[in-house]
Amino acid sequence: MRFSEIPTIETALIEATDEPSLDVGECSVGPTAAAIGNAVAHALGLRIHYMPLTRERIMTTLLG
């Protein structure tokens, strides 16, 4: 899809004072973590199933 083909997007602000606020960046955490996990799995040839992807967890997976 090209930018010229993207439909108009309407934004609506909703009053929800009884709901907890969520920062805008929170919605990107899931896809970002998945992308990093996929990149690590592709590089290592092994999938790590638990976060965070620490050096120790990566080494344990490689040596395990």
Short-list 45, 50, 38, CA closest to 62: 45
Q: Give the Cα separation of 37 and 16 in Å (integer).
A: 34
Q: Give the Cα separation of 1 and 8 in Å (integer).
A: 14
* pTM of the predicted structure, to 2 decimals: 0.53
**Would the pLDDT of 2 be above 70?**
yes
On whether the CB atoms of residues 42 and 26 are closer than 8 A, the answer is no
Each domain of the chain, given as residue ranges in start order, spans 26-64
**Would the pLDDT of 12 be above 90?**
no
On whether the CB atoms of residues 40 and 58 are closer than 8 A, the answer is yes
Report pLDDT digits (tens) over 27-64: 677 788 889 999 999 999 999 988 888 999 999 999 98
The tokens for 45 are 């040839």
